[in-house]
Amino acid sequence: MMANHVFHRAPNAPLPVVVAGEGITLIDAQGRRYLDACGGAAVSALGHGHPAIAAAIAHQAHKLEYAHTGFFTSEPAEALAGVIAGQCPGNLDRVWFTSSGSEAVEAAIKLARQYHLERGAPQRTRLIARRQSYHGNTLGALSAGGHGARRTAYAPLLLDVSLIEPCFAYHYAVPDETPQAYAQRAAAALESELLRVGPDTVMAFLAETVVGATAGAVPPEPGYLAAIRAICDRHGVLLILDEVMCGSGRTGSFLACEQDGVVPDIATIAKGLGAGYQPIGAVICTAHIHDTIAAQSGNLLHGQTYNGHPVGCAAALAVQTVIREQGLMAKVIAGERYLRARLHERLGHHPHVGDVRGRGYLQAIEFVADRDARTPFDPALAINQRIKAEAFARGLLVYPGGGTIDGRRGDHVVLAPPYITSHAELDAIVDRLGDAVDTVFAQVGAMA
């Protein structure tokens, strides 16, 4: 019997003990196997137990486990930064390493502030972000997030951040509005807020390229990011794209924004960067931002103990090498077509499936009480949690989300399988999820 000293997220909900992983499967202490269809939280890009990554970690730990970045750089950090810069679009070519996505967003916000300070614009202190977004759980990152349930308890502690309407056509477009017209209207919300608060008071606009957990894999409408880029340029505002969940190859390109033809001033990545083998994240900025600071104070006013951790960088370097050498981003693009086709085949006509959406191996299914009206279920029914539980009982891990529409109403589940997932494994994922969905709505129907 294990001593129970871990402070679990839900203290009164006992969890099985996971002991091993093989490919896309996790195994608990009772020998039960689970298909990891969500990569934990879109983390496990290469699945579990990859021998090359384990070997790289062991080799680096034997060679050098840690050195503080106030004294040294390291070979893995330098090599990984080169790989990241080489895969980024445009002039994104300076990399600051962190240990998580939340830390990356926190660092990006600070970087934006210091950039404006050092270029002689100290009045630029305001950040604009979007509702129905998630950027992390540190207080700065949480301030920028539009996830109501995560914010409520800490609201008195949060920074004053402007939150504008998301780009979420399924719920925010009006009847007969084209995707392009809606994209322009959604982007106009940024211009309106800039004019309201004073453009010269704003340091940056922060958005997820593809919204992850909060709204459920919502990609930008055609032209939205280009319009946002133009607005930011017009007003001297930095564009920060949060690709912690959707970046590092998860959508089929290293950064998801490449597919929209837009280059941000700053990007954040994490989850798929190290694929869960070690905690690591990164902030990527342009040489212009880097050089502005280098030419003035010469010192970024930020730092944490484990920035640029050699073992973390070595693990991520090995992960990115496998992704590149095995052509896994191309596999994600092909796999997306297959997965979407199977999801539409199995669930597309279900009376309570409102939308199937996403990009690459970041897909979501939104559940509705009425398909035509797109009305959500009563939040008290906790549909997303019921589906998670039924899927779990079938040996399937999916990532549930509630408050899809406004932070309170709406249910979805996210699928974010490892890039190595085969078509046969995608079939098993869809079949088990379909059975879970059927069971939940049969139960809900019986309750009515």
Helix (H, G, I), strand (E, B) or coil at 361: coil
What is the spatial distance between Cα 91 and Cα 84, in angstroms, rounded to a whole number? 12
pLDDT at 1: 47
CA distance linking residue 425 with residue 165, whole number of Å: 37
**Mean of pLDDT over the chain:** 96
Which range has the worst mean pLDDT, 117-131, 146-160, 277-291, 305-319? Answer: 146-160
- Return the residue matching tokens 């509702």: 131
Residue whose entry in the numeric block shows the structure tokens 């040996």 = 395
Using alpha carbons, list the distances in angstroms from residue 384 to 45, 125, 291, 367, 414: 23, 38, 46, 8, 10
Report the predicted TM-score, pTM, of the whole model to 2 decimal places.
0.97
Q: What is the pLDDT of residues 373-388, one digit of tens each?
A: 999 999 999 999 999 9
Q: pLDDT category, 301, cuts 50, 70, 90?
A: very high
Whether the pLDDT of residue 226 is over 80: the answer is yes
Q: How many Cα atoms sit within 13 Å of 71 on the Cβ side?
A: 6
Query: In this structure, what are the phi and psi dihedrals at residue 295, rounded to the nearest 5 degrees?
Result: -80, -15
> Is residue 250 within 8 Å of residue 362, measured between CB atoms?
yes
Would you state the structure tokens that stand for residue 213, as one six-digit string? 């957990």
Greatest Cα pair distance, the chain, in angstroms, is 68
Q: Which string of b and e fits 292-314 if b means at least 16 CB within 10 Å? A: bbeeeeeebebeeebbbbbbbbb
Q: Which domains does the chain have, with CATH numbers?
A: 18-44+327-447 (3.90.1150.10), 53-325 (3.40.640.10)
What is the token pair recorded at 201? 């008071």
Query: Among residues of the chain, what percentage have pLDDT more than 90?
Result: 95
Residue with tokens 């934990």: 40
Q: Quote the tokens at residue 61.
A: 């730990």
What's the CA angle centered on 219, arms 218 and 222, to 5 degrees? 140
